[in-house]
């Protein structure tokens, strides 16, 4: 199956060069020159992965992320020229699954896309359904229920929850989660984990400000508990 990648980028030269490079990986590449363009045609294009440039004219990349997130679970990689904490966290809060910094080497970009696709496929490595307090996780169906009601998680959030639930009650370091969920080595960005945990909490915790299930262990990482 050929992976369909949508690149949303206003700079035509970048768009073309990236398309060439990604096509060399054997993937098919769709292009949008603005956020409006991408959102209008998203359903007909139906991509497997979206690359969003943050510095778009018109509606910016953060807004595009938010709009896409409302409509779809599609993995989003944010492409940013600024890797300041503010921009990175804002992009992740807006719903991006991962981010890369310009100028990204096509090899690295492919590795990121592959990591996202890999985990979408292998998310159900532990197939057994499990109960964690008022949460019911069914990896096989990619479903989480809280008090019997379905909770909608993105694939990354779901994978994160599965990873935590695989080792229930055990503290997992951010490095470990970065490796298991995002496929990063030691130098992955811990902010990815922090923001996703935050997003996960808003969905599975009754009171996200005082989490009961996804608990921070200061200086060590996170753990899931009933």
DSSP letter string, 161-206 = HHHHHHTTT--B-HHHHIIIII---TTS-HHHHHHHHHHHHHHH-S
- Tokens coding 111: 């590795």
Q: Which stretch binds other proteins (CB under 8 A): 9-17, 56-64, 126-134, 201-209?
A: 9-17
**Is 82 an interacting residue with respect to other proteins (CB under 8 A)?**
yes
- Between CA 221 and CA 55 the distance in angstroms is 32
Give the three-class secondary structure for 135.
strand
Number of chain positions touching other proteins (CB under 8 A): 29
- Per-residue x/- marks for other proteins, 102-141, CB under 8 A? xxxxxx----------------------------------
- Per-residue x/- marks for other proteins, 165-204, CB under 8 A? ---------x----------xxx-xxx-------------
Nearest to 222 by CA among 175, 187, 179: 175
Q: What letter does residue 47 receive in the DSSP assignment? A: -
Angle between helices 61-71 and 35-45 (to 10 degrees): 20
Nearer to other proteins, 84 or 149 (CB): 84
**Is 26 an interacting residue with respect to other proteins (CB under 8 A)?**
no
Query: Of 2, 84, 209, 210, which lies in the binding site for other proteins, with binding defined by CB under 8 A?
Result: 84
Q: Which stretch binds other proteins (CB under 8 A): 12-20, 57-65, 154-162, 198-206?
A: 12-20
Give, in degrees to the nearest 5, the angle at Cα 152 between 151 and 154.
Answer: 135
Q: Are 194 and 177 in contact (CB under 8 A)?
A: no
Q: What residues between 50 and 79 interact with other proteins by CB under 8 A?
A: 55
Q: Where along the sequence are the contacts to other proteins (CB under 8 A)?
A: 11, 13-14, 17-18, 20-21, 24, 55, 81-82, 84-85, 101-107, 174, 185-187, 189-191, 219-220
């Amino acid at each position: 199956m050929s992976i369909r990648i949508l690149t949303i980028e206003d700079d035509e030269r970048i768009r073309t060069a990236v398309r060439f490079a990604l096509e060399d990986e054997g993937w098919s590449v769709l292009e949008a020159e603005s956020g409006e363009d991408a959102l209008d045609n998203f359903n007909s294009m139906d991509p497997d992965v979206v690359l969003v440039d943050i510095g778009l004219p018109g509606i910016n990349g953060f807004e595009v992320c938010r709009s896409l997130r409302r409509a779809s679970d599609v993995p989003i990689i944010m492409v940013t020229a600024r890797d300041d904490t503010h921009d990175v966290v804002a992009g992740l809060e807006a719903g991006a699954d991962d981010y890369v910094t310009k100028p990204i080497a096509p090899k690295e970009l492919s590795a990121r896309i592959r990591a996202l696709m890999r985990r979408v496929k292998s998310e159900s490595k532990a197939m057994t359904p499990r109960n964690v307090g008022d949460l019911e996780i069914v990896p096989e169906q990619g479903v989480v229920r809280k008090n019997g009601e379905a909770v909608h998680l993105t694939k990354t959030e779901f994978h994160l929850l599965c990873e935590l639930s695989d080792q229930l009650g055990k503290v997992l370091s951010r490095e470990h989660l970065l490796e298991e969920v995002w496929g990063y080595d030691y130098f992955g960005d811990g902010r990815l984990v922090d923001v996703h945990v935050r997003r996960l909490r808003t969905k599975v915790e009754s009171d996200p400000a005082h989490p009961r299930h996804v608990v921070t262990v200061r200086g060590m990482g996170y753990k899931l508990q009933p």
